[in-house]
Amino acid sequence: MTEPLATGVIVLLFGVLLAFSVLFSRAMDRIGVPIVLLFLVLGMLAGSEGIGRLPFDDYALAYRLGTVALALILFDGGLNTPIGAIRQSWAPASVLATAGVVLTAGLTALAARLLGMTWAHALLLGAVVSSTDAAAVFAVLRGSRLRLTRRVGTTLELESGVNDPVAVILTVAVTDAALTGATPSWWLALQIPWQLGAGAAIGIGFGLLGRLMLRRVSLSATGLYPVLTLAIALACFGVATVAGASGFLAVYGAGVMLGHGRVPYRNGLTRVHDAIAWLCQIGMFLMLGLLVFPSQLPGVAGRGLAIGVFMAVVARPLAVLLCLAPMRSPLRESVYVGWVGLRGAVPIILATYPVLRGVPGAVEVFNTVFFIVVVNTIVPGSTIRRLTARLGLSEAGAPDPPATIEMTSTRLLDGEILSFYIDRTLAVCGVPISSVRFPEGCSVVLMVRAGQPLAARGKTLFAEGDHVYLFCREQDRPYLALLFGAHQG
């Protein structure tokens, strides 16, 4: 087969896999299985031992591409994380991202040792799988449209966004110890605050710089604005990594700062980065599935499944309870956070590191990680809806608007379009538009009733169940909140 033909076949198969992943996403969501698992399985089916027969065993390439993909996923997660929610959840999330990761690693390593692994491999396994996965958490919580209470949802998302540095430090330290036989030195404890502190500082700096650039620079085409923010994210990750700080935390922080500020073309940027994040998730899990050779799995299946169940049922919940107990967190919230400890791409990416370094038996650890990831995706992911309802952690909210109206501009405008849901408890419910005193410069743009657009006239009544789109200015928001409640977008 000629090189152009081989390239065409590979591109065709990858396109087919992408299409299958997207088309079956809704079906996976209905049965409660996180979609990220589908990507992993499709990658295995396309691999050298599957029906696709695509040969791929380049751990170095997988590590690099997976790292970049995860950075872009975290950047998108930061763009969609309200800074007010971070203020509310930073304390429990930071404890879980540090002490929680170490406790989970230790408990998992102990279980692996009791199941016959050597201490070197057990500690390596515990370090690799110790952190929750941002891609999996974002996909499950946002993709399934769960209406979690704000504190619980933000704690889970924030923890997954900032707990990777500790897992990376532990993995590198244990890998070095396995190769040299030396015990990790005391300076390891100093790396954690440095990586977290410096990573956060660099991320905030790049986020503020990005805001300034977007406001001051006038680009010739709207398509260049997402290119600029993508460059900001990649540069932020690179600078933080070169400085010895956490690139993952830095890029997440940069996304938070950009998302919190007023920037031109904001709606377009959010939409493009959301698409990039989904493409990164799909491509990353497909690629990681290609690395798995099914013929190597039976030898570690029993042990991997046992460790995976132990981690999901004992290690993660126990670590969370121990971390949150001193903070007097409500028991039902601690139980929920402990149960939703989703693993995904991060452990698999970290598991490639000891393979690259040539640690003896590292491939066996990598294959064991595969089973742990599958168990810790299916078990919590498939029960998350029922557990949310049983523990009463769902937040009442208005249904999503059937349409979206937005203003797109490459410069900042003194005005925006907000969406409101008309509830029977609102003062404006049943009142005609002409009878409502709107602020100067504020008006009704469109109403959607029973899924159909409705022209806004003076005699038109605000009816229960309507979605109303208002043009307003920033200073009008508090007054509109009194009339229409919280806006939806």
Confidence of residue 184 (pLDDT cuts 50, 70, 90): low
> Which residues, in sequence order, are CB contacts of 273 under 8 Å at separation 6+?
72, 75, 76, 79, 226, 229, 230
8 A C-beta contact, residue 252 and residue 83: no
Predicted pLDDT of residue 266: 79
Percentages helix, strand, coil for the chain, rounded to the nearest 5? 65, 5, 25
8 A C-beta contact, residue 315 and residue 376: no
Read off the pLDDT of each residue in 279-307 and give the average, rounded to a whole number.
Answer: 85
CA distance 308 to 115: 12
Q: Is domain 8-390 given the CATH code 3.10.129.10 in the classification?
A: no
CA distance 421 to 398: 6
Instruction: Provide the terminal-to-terminal Cα distance of the chain, rounded to the nearest Å.
Output: 52
* Domain-wise residue ranges, the chain: 8-390, 416-484
At the topology level, CATH places domain 416-484 in: Alpha-Beta Plaits (3.30.70)
CA distance 88 to 66: 31
Cα–Cα distances (Å) from 162 to 203, 247, 447, in that order, read: 12, 10, 40
Confidence of residue 416 (pLDDT cuts 50, 70, 90): confident
CA distance 12 to 4: 12
Mean pLDDT of the chain: 83
Q: Is pLDDT above 70 for 147?
A: yes
Predicted pLDDT of residue 203: 94
Of 166-180, 181-195, 295-309, 417-431, where does mean pLDDT reach its minimum? 181-195
What are 315-339's pLDDT values in tens digits? 999 999 999 989 888 899 999 999 9
Measured N-to-C along each axis, helices 247-260 and 83-95 cross at an angle, to the nearest 10 degrees, of 160
Predicted pLDDT of residue 87: 78
**Amino acid making up residue 424:** R
Q: What are the structure tokens assigned to 17, written together? A: 């896999």
